[in-house]
Every structure is written in C-alpha cells, then in structure tokens.
Chain A
Amino acid sequence: DQQVKQNSPSLSVQEGRISILNCDYTNSMFDYFLWYKKYPAEGPTFLISISSIKDKNEDGRFTVFLNKSAKHLSLHIVPSQPGDSAVYFCAASGPGAQKLVFGQGTRLTINP
C-alpha cells in the first residue's frame, strides 16, 4: 500500500526553465509534507516543507504547492540549474507521527 506516490521516475528539463515534480498521497490524515533531494552516494537532504494549513510555501527558487482536495503536491524549481540534477523524494507525516513516509523518487536531470 503505497501511501505516497511519485508517478514520474524521471524528468528532464532544460537549464533556466521550470522543473515541476509531482506527488500524490492517499492518507487524508497526513498533515505535513516535505521534499528531500538526494545526490548519489549521499543521504537525502531536506529541501522544503509545507503544513496542511497552507497551500503554498516558497523558499528562493523552490516553491511547494499543496492541493488537499486532490491529495496532490508539487515542487516547482525556477530557474532550474545544473546543480539541481538529483533524485527528489516527496515525504509525508501524520499528526503526532515521527516517521516520514516517502514516495519512490523522481530523478531530475537539468540539461545545459
């Protein structure tokens, strides 16, 4: 039972353009959502998060949008840079929960 799904295993975007990564979840109890970025041979690093009381959170080039009715969130990266090439994981957590539930990841490649 995959509670957090990232249906696109990979995405290729030209440098300078917008990258949009998508994530769907099934558990309506989730109230906190995060995006992690992972380079090869390294652990995931936190990128940005959003609480369910918001529908948007912005941090520099990164914006996360949350659509609770659709149980969908997305990460926008504008403008995309070569250093953004990595695997991106969406994760979620429920009220009072400690653990994170991760999606399968999307490999983003930024082409020069």
Chain B
Amino acid sequence: GAGVSQSPRYKVAKRGQDVALRCDPISGHVSLFWYQQALGQGPEFLTYFQNEAQLDKSGLPSDRFFAERPEGSVSTLKIQRTQQEDSAVYLCASSLALGAYNEQFFGPGTRLTVL
C-alpha cells in the first residue's frame, strides 16, 4: 500500500521567503510527527499530532515555524521568513496510534535549501 508521501521533495527558498511543506500520512494513521534533520545529524523532533490536535510542539525552533493538520489527515509545516539555518531535510512520519511502541513510518523528506 501507499506509504507516507511528502511534497515538494526539494525546495529552494531565498532568505526571508515563506515556505509550506506537505505531508500525506498513511491512511488511517492517527499520529503524525515532524522531524528536522540537519546535514550529518539525526532527525530531531519538531511536533506531533493526534488526529487534528497538536499535542506537543516543544521542538519547534522558533515562532516562525507553524504546523497544522486541520482534518486529521494531511499536515502542513510552514516556515515564515526563512533563514539559512532552516536549511535541512524535513521528515514526516505517521503511526497507527500514539506511543513510541507503535512503529513510525517515515516519508522521504523535503530537502529545504535557504539561500
């Protein structure tokens, strides 16, 4: 069946531009996670949702980062006034239910480059 998909796969933005990254989770998956992976590092947690409720956004690096999942399926990660330090791969993952014991299935990521 279809896995987690993300779009666009690559995004180049000029510093100061706003960007929106989309995640389509596996159908029926309740939980959705966003991670940021800087070059040469492991993924770092940003935020997660249970259905449409954003239950933890403690990993968002600044108030320029905003995530939503209004209908409990597709999610969008928005970054306002992008900075060079925002350059990274943004990974989305979904799982059938809450709890780390439930496998998180990752999408291929969106590589964001801020010039």
Interface residues of chain A, those whose CB is within 8 Å of chain B, are 4, 6, 9, 32, 34, 36, 41-46, 49, 89, 91, 93, 97-105
Contacts and interface: CB of A to CB of B under 8 A. Distances in A.
B62 interface: no
Q: Which of B44, B100, B101, B104 has the most CB of A within 10 A?
A: B100
Interface residues of B, number: 27
A26 to B, nearest CB: 15
Nearest to B45: A99
B43 A102 contact: yes
B65 to A, nearest CB: 15
The listed residue with most B CB atoms (<10 A of its CB), out of A9, A34, A98, A100, is: A98
Given A44-B91, A104-B42, A105-B42, A98 B107 contact: no
